[in-house]
Chains A and B, each alone.
Chain A
Amino acid sequence: MKLLRLAPENTKFDFMRLRRVSYPMSAILSIVAVLLFFFVGMNFGIDFSGGTQVELRAKSGAADIAALRSTGESLGLGAIEVQRAGADTDAVMRVGIQPGGEAAQQNAIGKMRQAFGDNYEFRQVDAVGPRVSGELVQKGTLGIVVSIVAVLTYLWFRFEWQFAVGAIIGTMHDLLLTVGFFCVTQLEFNTTSIAAILTIVGYSLNETVVVLDRIREVMRKYKRLSTAEIVNMSINAVLPRTIMTATTVFLALLALFFLGGHVIRSFSAAMIWGIFVATYSSIFICSPILIYLGVRADVFDKESASEAERAPAAKAKG
């Protein structure tokens, strides 16, 4: 049986040379992402901005967006946003936080139910008060920070500090580009998006760890090679696996994006983007940093001298 190979085998790409392209490019993209975040901003969902959001389905015919908007505006709930959601029959309506404390948010729902209840089915109602939305922002940010710290602590124990530095720069890069992705696409940013970001962080580190694991192994084996050669050799060795895994995850996410329904579409889109960015950064960002940080095989000497000695010379053909 002829088997499918997406990744060419025994490749000898000079990935390290590409860092002269990838570093400036990533640096620019990261800066653009930060600028976008501050000057364009993300489309925060009501989880974080607070307010009331309802999803409506017309009881007959298509949802009349214009009529919904004009009726909605007459309710006196401030600026109102109306959008089609998925099917023709569906619309999403959103109003901001109502002045007057927590009870005012409840009032908004009541008014909407009264105004649209006859012609529309309320498929989903979310009302998030000012206090809860503030806490969700806090918790989300804290979650991301804590997860990065926790994983880096683990890496620091398992690897040398240079590797952890490489991993953190790669992870920050992925994080920034994902934020940029949300700014550019204006996909709704909500609590599921935080889940997507944390998963991307997990995936990015997973990719990085696989590459770093191999670099460490090769480094112990071939002490005379330069760091660039070692990193190149390692990345080439794990390349088939990197491509394989990125593809399987991509396939699963593709199904989720197209078939999983509009509720989690923004989540799936962010994850698909994250898989690409994480794969890219593990190869082109994390590993080349080791060259700058001057990781040499000697760093392993104290801990694994005996292991290195046992590495048989016969295997030194690559």
Chain B
Amino acid sequence: MLRLAPWKVASILTVIVLAVLLVVPSFLGAGVAERLEKALPSFLPVRPIVLGLDLQGGASLLWEVDSAALTRAQVNALRDDVRGKLREGHISISGGIAVQPRGVQVRIADAAERAKALADLQSLNLPISSALIGTAGHTLDIAETGDGAVTLTLTDAAINDKIHRAVTQSIEVLNRRLNDKGTKEINIQQQGVDRILVEVPGLQDTTKVKDLVGTTANLEFRLVADPGDPPSDFDNLPQQQGGQLPVQKHVMVAGEDLTDAQPGFDQNNEPDVNFRFNLRGGQRFGQVTAENVGRPFAIVLDGKVISAPRILGPITGGSGQITGNFTVEEANNLAILLRAGALPAKLTVVEERTVGPGLGQDSIDAGKRAAIVGGILVVCYMLATYGIFGVFADLALAVHILFIFASMALLGATLTLPGIAGVVFTIGMAVDSNVLIYERIREEAHMGRSIISALDAGFKRAFATIIDSNVTMFVAATILYLFGSGPVRGFAVSLGLGILTSVVTAVTMTRMMIALWYRYKRPTRLPI
């Protein structure tokens, strides 16, 4: 108990100094933080604690990938592949290719042809590799389902892989759209299997973000249908200015062949978007326009005709303009969307939360007040109950609070309003370890032990209880973190960190202080 290795004292003091350095940037404003960053060695992360959107104000939008549409597209692609394979192998089928929710079915009457088809179709069955677990299986289950039928069903792995890739790709596209200017201020991350969380600090009106994210931005250049075209060759698409326009199904050039798009103004000083094709797109576009001089073509965005200009002559320069009665803002957005590329699937908002800067600041102030008053109450109560030992507990409590914030800064954890509540709660909870130790010491002293032996026994006996009781709390915090969402996670973080730091400070720091006190004071009776 009394033996106190100097290296232990030194290491505790070092950790405290480091913790102070970690916390300083969060409480002294950006200017001080910058100067510190220059003065300190680079291995020390000097960054303020990240405030959650509920404290700094801002919008958080949860988007969901339309996975049903993705699967439908996957099934359609499979149907085309199957048709191609069967045609290639000159296999005759009775009836068409039946499309099922998750696959396709064909009937092949002749047994020999069926066997050949099974072998041929096997080549459509591709292995799925995943970065995490290596080969995760195949894309298809191919089986004879009796009565001459062959059924190809997409595996779960294939469907999930498609969704996963769509989400990853969407995040890339959204990053280009929203963080267009290279600022990484907007946080875009995957959530769950098919969701994407977009967090925009400081934003109140979410309309623009919704426009930017909710648009698939699938751009197509197609010829307007001739009156003589068969109906199966064209779609009737809605036009932006109203009405419908018959447009050929065949796509001349698609948005993926764009390399750049910039907002500008046409000769009438109307806002437009100037775009540039890559080599392939430029050649295709040049060729088609050369063959169709005089005919109108349609610029189609997400199934809607923006404009349908007449081809005045071959456009071979690999660039062009889109005009369509845009406002400057609309032209700007369209340019961003085209530059960023199309989303692989439509995204819909499933959850939206915004907090105004006023409420955020109010919450910070209220949280601060509650923490300070709560802290003072606990500190005074400990002093009144335990005297000098209360001072030790209070010092340990101060270090505990310091450690919570320091570890948050170190881990880059986000502080939310429930997180502040968690800190306040652990202020009340942290002294529990001290209380357990002190009450045990008293008990041992009452049983007639000497001071030094009562101190020793108190620490030793209370320790097991401290660990047991804190494990239960820590488990609750961990599970809250795993199952919680948004600000509630902030509570779990500060509760979990608070439990860890309180055990460390109550046990080691209090022990150290009591040992020092005993050494210099040589008390004759226990002050509690």
Contact = CB atoms under 8 A, between A and B. Distances in A.
A126 interface: yes
A131 B62 CA distance: 11
Given A132-B350, A264-B421, A251 B443 contact: no
Interface in B482-520: 482-488, 491-492, 495
A213 B468 CA distance: 8
A111 B464 CA distance: 59
A143 B348 contact: no
Interface stretch (A14-22, A29-37, A65-73, A190-198): A190-198
A143 B350 contact: no
Contacts, number: 242
A79 interface: no
A267 B351 contact: no
B120 to A, nearest CB: 41
A110 B471 CA distance: 47
B352 A202 contact: no
B425 A199 contact: yes
B373 A259 contact: yes
Contact of A191 (B377, B484, B495): B484
A103 B374 contact: no
Interface in B205-247: 205, 207, 210
A150 B475 contact: yes
Contact of B366 (A3, A4, A261): A261
Majority-rule SS of B interface residues: helix
Contacts of B464: 213
B387 A261 contact: no
A209 B462 CA distance: 12
A264 B418 CA distance: 7
A43 B240 CA distance: 45
Nearest to B440: A241
Interface in A96-112: 102-103, 105-106, 109-110
A36 to B, nearest CB: 25
A252 B358 contact: no
Interface in B428-458: 428-429, 431-432, 435-436, 439, 442-443, 446-447
B470 A206 contact: yes
Interface stretch (B3-11, B271-279, B284-292, B378-386): B378-386
B483 A139 contact: yes
Interface in B343-388: 348-356, 358-359, 362-363, 366-367, 369-371, 373-375, 377-378, 381-382, 384-387
A292 interface: no
B473 A203 contact: yes
A268 B421 contact: yes
B331 interface: no
B64 A102 contact: yes
B362 A3 contact: no
A127 B352 contact: yes
B417 interface: yes
Contact of A143 (B62, B371, B427, B480): B480
Contact of A247 (B350, B369, B381, B469): B381
A256 B424 contact: yes
Given A3-B528, A203-B473, A260 B432 contact: no
B370 A198 contact: no
A146 B480 CA distance: 10
Given A3-B528, A126-B352, A128-B351, A249 B425 contact: yes
A146 B468 contact: no
Contact of A124 (B354, B374, B387): B354
Interface string A209-230: 1100110010000000000000
Interface string A111-148: 00100000001111111110110001001101100110
Given A194-B484, A252-B374, 10 more contacts: A9-B446, A55-B359, A57-B358, A143-B484, A155-B472, A210-B465, A248-B378, A248-B432, A253-B424, A255-B374
Interface of B: 54, 62, 64, 204-205, 207, 210, 348-356, 358-359, 362-363, 366-367, 369-371, 373-375, 377-378, 381-382, 384-387, 417-418, 420-421, 424-425, 427-429, 431-432, 435-436, 439, 442-443, 446-447, 461, 464-465, 468-473, 475-477, 479-480, 482-488, 491-492, 495, 527-528
9 contacts: A132-B62, A139-B485, A154-B475, A192-B487, A237-B443, A248-B431, A248-B432, A249-B432, A252-B374
